[in-house]
Amino acid sequence: MYKKIIALMLTLNMISVSAFAAQTETNLEKELVVISGNIDMSAHVKEVSVIILNPGKTMADLNNGDISAVAFAAQVPVRTSGTYSIKAKLSGASGEYSVYVDYEGNTDNDAEIISYITAADNKAAIEALFGANSSGDAAGVMNGRWTVLGISNEFYDMANCSAPAKIFYGLKTKMPVAAPTLEDTQKYFDMACAIAAISEGKIDDLADYFEILDLTDTAAAGYYKKGNSSMKKAVKTRLQSAVTAILGECAEDEAKWKNIKASFDETFAEAVVLATVEHPGGVGDVTDVIKDFSGQIGIGTATDNSKVYYALMSRKFDTYGALLSAYRTAVGTENSSDNDGRGGGGGVVRGDSANAVTPIVGDYRADSPENIGARVNVFNDIADVPWAIEAIADLTERGVLSGMGDGSFKPDDAVTREQFVKMIVTAFDMQARDNDMAFSDVKHGDWYYDAVKAAYENGIIRGHGDSFGVGEGLTREDMAVIICNTLKKLGISGEETAKPEFIDSAEISDYAKESVEYLKNTGVLKGNGNNDFNPKNVTTRAEASVVIFSLLNNNR
């Protein structure tokens, strides 16, 4: 066998050994290096030569007769498809090996450098890392034995692994592994890197890392995944600050590292709850998230009074404690005998505090409860939205609105795009012509066909390419576009006075910016108490009613 290797070396030395770009893959547990690649068959190559040189050795050493420079050498046949592959078992020490793949006529002289790790070295490094007695020791092991740990990550490497190493120490301390493997090491390291990356604002969409962070089946993850872009951005901002603070506390108190995962999970849940309240898809999101996390917030048994959740909707709270205080105040206000009954409306009338109301529709004022009288009975479920009763009753009497067929109106449900268009077209008596309309999701016979057709022909809507978006909840920015187009169609214009930009104006889609800006400056629509517009939030049926009622009565 030894003579055959010598003969192979001599054969290879007769030509100028050069490298051909190849793919290499190491199997650490079996101590194998798999080398594969493709050859242009027009060169009629039948075999390639593979040489792997030991760490520190070069092709010059081999050419000078130093056979010890070679860790592996073989000639590999090329398949008819032009591919080749060989498994090279190495027996040397851990280190960086040079791989040369050559064939007759090749002119590439570069080597492929691979990091090879022996199973023994890897096992020893992993045991040292999992056996670290402090976060500092873990950082020292990871930095000193990085090349044999066999781990990698998209965010961190040996040059900047200090923070992940300390988090790793906390994870393995709280969740020890009896006989850690490379798979365990990579799993804990990935989790540590994700937490560190979040503290540095490197991750935009946390859902991509839920499996790594072991959050996939949590309630908080469910709310995050269905949240809008503003909500997710708020979670990122909150988490970056909160996790940075947690890491700082752990650095000051070594004992706190073991609670790093629990602290992160609690912080993530709190960020999701508060961001959902601030940037909901509707009052239903606020209601659900507060009820689901009532224990963590400190509420106990949450109220079923929807007015309380309207009062909290789209408000910014920095902590559970601040949300709890506002919740208790809202509950107390709704239960008090001198409450004016308006509540804190949703996307149209929203509470800045328990006793203050900021109208989203400019100058809109809900009728007082004593003047509503029997109008509350128009539908059996609108008593909890007193701020919208007048609008709902008035539009129902005009034939603009209709209920769900069972005596209910579903005021807190999201208004769909076709429902809102039907309301607008009916309210302003827009007529359809005989032209064809090419929306793939709007068919003859659909109850909304004529309304969508009329809105399209009058320039009120554009749709999404070849579809209208039937069944989709109407976002606030889309509502603004429809309102603006309606006003233009009717020849109604208002005097523009420049007003402060919404703080979330960057979240407004380009196609809606002009409409939102116009309606803001003419006072048709306003932001909430924080001066944000929440463009991606959906509009409820009650809110849509107030908007159209206000337009009909010129309450701008």
Q: Give the pLDDT of residue 361.
A: 56
More confident residue, 260 or 527: 260
Q: What amino acid is encoded at 450 in this protein? A: D
Q: Is the pLDDT at 521 greater than 90, yes or no?
A: no
317 located within any domain: no
Q: Is residue 87 classed as helix, strand or coil in its secondary structure?
A: strand
Of 339, 363, 349, which Cα lies nearest the Cα of 310? 349
318 located within any domain: no
What average pLDDT score do residues 420-431 get?
90
Confidence band for 33, pLDDT divided at 50, 70 and 90: confident
All residues at 6 or more sequence positions from 108 whose CB lies less than 8 Å from its CB, including other chains: 18, 19, 20, 21
d(CA 88, CA 94): 15
Domain boundary among 70, 85, 116: 116
Q: Is the pLDDT at 224 greater than 50, yes or no?
A: yes
17 located within any domain: yes
pLDDT tens per residue across span 45-86 = 888 888 899 989 988 898 888 989 999 999 889 888 888 888
Q: Is the pLDDT at 127 greater than 90, yes or no?
A: yes
The long-range contacts involving 438-444, CB below 8 angstroms and separated by at least 24 positions, are 438/466, 439/463, 439/466, 439/467, 439/468, 440/466, 440/467, 441/467, 441/468, 441/469, 441/470, 442/418, 442/468, 442/470
In a shared domain, residues 264 and 397: no
In a shared domain, residues 232 and 379: no
d(CA 2, CA 24): 26
Q: Is the pLDDT at 35 greater than 50, yes or no?
A: yes
248 located within any domain: yes
Q: What amino acid is encoded at 409 in this protein? A: F
In a shared domain, residues 178 and 239: yes
pLDDT tens per residue across span 366-397 = 555 555 666 667 888 888 788 888 889 889 98
Q: Is the pLDDT at 289 greater than 90, yes or no?
A: yes
Q: Give the pLDDT of residue 342.
A: 29
DSSP 8-state assignment for residue 133: S
Q: Is the pLDDT at 554 greater than 70, yes or no?
A: no
Q: Give the pLDDT of residue 211.
A: 97
Order of strands across the sheet with 70-77? Answer: 70-77, 47-53, 95-102, 112-116
Q: Give the pLDDT of residue 8.
A: 40
All residues at 6 or more sequence positions from 466 whose CB lies less than 8 Å from its CB, including other chains: 438, 439, 440
Angle (CA) 486-487-491 rounded to 5° is 120
- Can you read off the two tokens belonging to residue 7? 């003969």
pTM of the prediction? Answer: 0.58
d(CA 387, CA 57): 82
Q: Is the pLDDT at 190 greater than 90, yes or no?
A: yes
- Can you read off the two tokens belonging to residue 114? 């691979």
Distance of CA 514 to the CA centre of its chain: 27
Q: Give the pLDDT of residue 309.
A: 84
pLDDT tens per residue across span 327-374 = 998 888 655 433 333 233 333 333 333 322 333 455 555 555 555 666
Q: Is the pLDDT at 122 greater than 70, yes or no?
A: yes
For the chain, what percent of residues have pLDDT higher than 70?
Answer: 84
d(CA 49, CA 74): 6
Distance of CA 130 to the CA centre of its chain: 32
Q: Is the pLDDT at 197 greater than 90, yes or no?
A: yes
Confidence band for 132, pLDDT divided at 50, 70 and 90: very high
Q: Give the pLDDT of residue 335.
A: 53
Residue linked to tokens 């506002």? 326
Domain boundary among 248, 278, 308: 278
Q: Give the pLDDT of residue 17.
A: 36
pLDDT tens per residue across span 298-321 = 998 999 887 788 778 778 899 999
**Segments forming the whole domain that contains residue 380:** 360-552
What average pLDDT score do residues 421-440 get?
83
Confidence band for 537, pLDDT divided at 50, 70 and 90: confident
In a shared domain, residues 377 and 240: no
d(CA 236, CA 234): 5
176 located within any domain: yes
Q: Is residue 235 classed as helix, strand or coil in its secondary structure?
A: helix
What average pLDDT score do residues 37-48 get?
80
430 located within any domain: yes
Mean pLDDT (the chain) is: 82
**Radius of gyration (C-alpha) of the chain in whole angstroms:** 33
In a shared domain, residues 264 and 137: yes
More confident residue, 466 or 136: 136
132 located within any domain: yes
Cα distances (angstroms) measured from residue 350 to each of 8, 358, 503, 530: 83, 5, 17, 11
Confidence band for 135, pLDDT divided at 50, 70 and 90: very high
Q: Give the pLDDT of residue 375.
A: 66
DSSP annotation string for 400-450: S----SSS---TTSBPBHHHHHHHHHHHTT----S-----TT--TT-TTHH
**Alpha-carbon dihedral 60, 61, 64, 67, rounded to 10 degrees:** -140
In a shared domain, residues 126 and 105: no
Number of domains in the chain: 3
All residues at 6 or more sequence positions from 68 whose CB lies less than 8 Å from its CB, including other chains: 54, 57
Confidence band for 539, pLDDT divided at 50, 70 and 90: confident
What average pLDDT score do residues 10-28 get?
46
In a shared domain, residues 105 and 166: no
d(CA 296, CA 262): 14
Domain boundary among 278, 310, 336: 278
Beta bridge partners of 538: 475
Q: Give the pLDDT of residue 354.
A: 30
In a shared domain, residues 194 and 59: no
Confidence band for 528, pLDDT divided at 50, 70 and 90: low
What average pLDDT score do residues 255-280 get?
95
- Can you read off the two tokens belonging to residue 252? 């000051």
Task: Please tell me which of 85-94, 165-174, 346-355, 513-522 the model is most confident about, judged by mean pLDDT.
Answer: 165-174
Q: Give the pLDDT of residue 27.
A: 61
Beta bridge partners of 113: 98
DSSP 8-state assignment for residue 540: B
Residue 179 near residue 172 (C-beta atoms within 8 A): no
In a shared domain, residues 33 and 139: no
More confident residue, 306 or 482: 482
57 located within any domain: yes
d(CA 425, CA 401): 11
Q: Give the pLDDT of residue 10.
A: 37
Residue 55 near residue 97 (C-beta atoms within 8 A): yes
d(CA 63, CA 70): 11
Residue 433 near residue 459 (C-beta atoms within 8 A): no
What average pLDDT score do residues 408-417 get?
88
Q: Give the pLDDT of residue 369.
A: 53
Q: Is the pLDDT at 431 greater than 70, yes or no?
A: yes
Q: Is residue 479 classed as helix, strand or coil in its secondary structure?
A: helix
d(CA 55, CA 397): 87
For the chain, what percent of residues have pLDDT higher than 90?
Answer: 37
In a shared domain, residues 132 and 43: no
In a shared domain, residues 81 and 217: no
Residue 535 near residue 504 (C-beta atoms within 8 A): yes
Q: Is residue 66 classed as helix, strand or coil in its secondary structure?
A: coil
Q: Give the pLDDT of residue 246.
A: 97
Q: Give the pLDDT of residue 40.
A: 75
Q: Give the pLDDT of residue 297.
A: 95
In a shared domain, residues 128 and 95: no
Q: Give the pLDDT of residue 170.
A: 97
Q: Is the pLDDT at 179 greater than 70, yes or no?
A: yes
* Across 76-85, 128-137, 527-536, least confident range: 527-536
330-347 burial: b if 16+ Cβ within 10 Å, else e: bbebbeeeebebbbbbbb
